[in-house]
Amino acid sequence: MIEILLFAQLQEEAGTDNITMDLSNVTVKKLKEQLQNTYGFQQIKESMIAVNESYALDDDIIKAGDTVAIIPPVSGG
């Protein structure tokens, strides 16, 4: 089970600030595909995935208990 934090546009689309997916030991790339297939978020392709508050690359592995977040294009400042 992986809990995934949502922000901004994605949070509004989903109507919640977090979702849970029944996965573990998947790559970031795989997770993005699953999110795309299951939720159809508009911004998945242009988003980054953060694992434990750091940006992750496509090949990084997500383990159970990791804190995962979808980071759509940022606009602070």
Partner 1 sequence: MEQKLFEIVEEPIAIELIIKKVEDRNAGAITTFIGTVRELTAEKRTIYLEYQAYKPMAEKMLAKIGEEIIQKWEGTKVAITHRIGSLDILEVAVVIAVSSPHRKAAYQANEYAIERIKQIVPIWKKEQWDDGEAWIGDQLENVRYPNAKPDIKDETND
Binding residues for partner 1 (CB under 8 A) = 5, 7-9, 11-12, 43, 46, 48, 50-51, 53-57, 60, 69, 71-77
Q: Read off the tokens for 70.
A: 């979808």
CB of 33 to partner 1, least distance (A): 17
Residues 6+ apart with CB under 8 A from 67: 3, 5, 50, 51, 52, 53
- Can you tell me which residue has the tokens 């434990």? 52
CB of 34 to partner 1, least distance (A): 20
CB of 12 to partner 1, least distance (A): 7
